[in-house]
Amino acid sequence: MAEQPILLLSHLSFSSAALLESEVALRKIRRTRWKLNKFSLIPAFIALIGVVILLYPMAASWVSQVNQSALVRDYSRALDNAQPSKDQQIQLAHKYNEALRSGAIIESGANKAVGTGSNAGADSTASLKYEDMLHTPQSAVMARVKVDAIDVDLPVYHGTSDETLRVGVGHLKGTSLPVGGIGTRAVLTAHRGLAEATLFTNLDKVKKNDEIVIEVFGEVLDYRVVDIQIIDPDATQNIKADPNRDLISLITCTPLGINTQRILVTAERVTPTPADVAQEQGKKPDIPGFPWWIVYLSVALSVITWYVWSSGTRQISIKPD
């Protein structure tokens, strides 16, 4: 019986010694340190550049749509203080269209169309200057064009200068103002294929019977696509007004990046304007949608960060005895 306590004490002594030795060993360990693997930075940097290049058009287009939507909202608010009033501006625009001799030419080899139409009757049109039509001091926007089929909701400006076409849709001077009426044909043009803005990039996806809506100084005009053509730059007959129809045409360059021809989408007015379309007047733009590019960028950055971290080495520093 006396041997059992002796064995137990021996076992306890051995365990205590082992624990003490472990504690001493643990005290010697100072810390575990992560060290960057410099070679992992090269593929990580290349991957980051690739992600930025891929996402830039999406991000830039989203930012552009934010700015364009803000301009549309500002335009709607500016109409309340328009001078002359909205109704007077519409009446003047109709007079301008009546006085206008339709005639336009699409500039060859360029990304825009240029009008050469002129006003008929100098005395009757002396007060009908193009730049003063559908104009408010608070906003440079003359109208708003919506094509839901391709997520277009853009401001329309006077003329087709390069500066105008980089921020929105230009109205082709020399064609009817976009206020509707039998015998009129407004022609609206915009860039296609810009990295920083979508604009009319997807105009080639429009189909017959798709809806084009024009909001202009408090009025809503509803059009349905009736014709889609690929035309040469000098095909002036294709954009002339029809004396018996109320038309609008959207035009942009094609093939994408080459721009030797033009896509011409023509729509005819639906009268009266459907009630559900008329109720959309002045409504806040639905675009841009959710910024998915932020999600994609966050995921890509997380993966790149994980790669750099997992490629690093771990070093254990131990205190000397």
The CATH code of the domain that includes 192 is 2.40.260.10
Q: For residue 177, give its domain range.
A: 77-288
The CA-atom distances, in angstroms, between 103 and each of 42, 123, 126 are 59, 20, 19
Instruction: Identify the active-site residue in 135, 158, 171, 253.
Output: 253
Indicate whether 197 belongs to any domain. Answer: yes
Indicate whether 34 belongs to any domain. Answer: no
- Quote the percentage of the chain above a pLDDT of 70: 79
Indicate whether 306 belongs to any domain. Answer: no
Indicate whether 296 belongs to any domain. Answer: no
Residues 6+ apart with CB under 8 A from 60: 195, 196, 197
Task: Say how many domains are in the chain.
Answer: 1
- Please state whether the predicted TM-score (pTM) of the whole model is above 0.85: no
pLDDT tens column, 224-263? 999 999 999 888 889 999 999 999 999 999 998 888 999 9
Q: Among this protein's residues, is 11 annotated catalytic?
A: no
Give the pairing type, strands 211-216 and 141-147: antiparallel
Indicate whether 53 belongs to any domain. Answer: no
Indicate whether 68 belongs to any domain. Answer: no
Cα(210)–Cα(204) distance, integer angstroms: 12
Indicate whether 131 belongs to any domain. Answer: yes
Residues 6+ apart with CB under 8 A from 120: 99, 100, 101
Cα(107)–Cα(92) distance, integer angstroms: 28
Indicate whether 318 belongs to any domain. Answer: no
- Give the pLDDT of residue 108: 37
Question: Mean pLDDT score of the chain, rounded to an integer?
Answer: 81
- Quote the percentage of the chain above a pLDDT of 90: 44
Closest CA to 28 of 227, 317, 283: 317
Instruction: Identify the active-site residue in 135, 158, 171, 191.
Output: 191
Q: Among this protein's residues, is 253 annotated catalytic?
A: yes
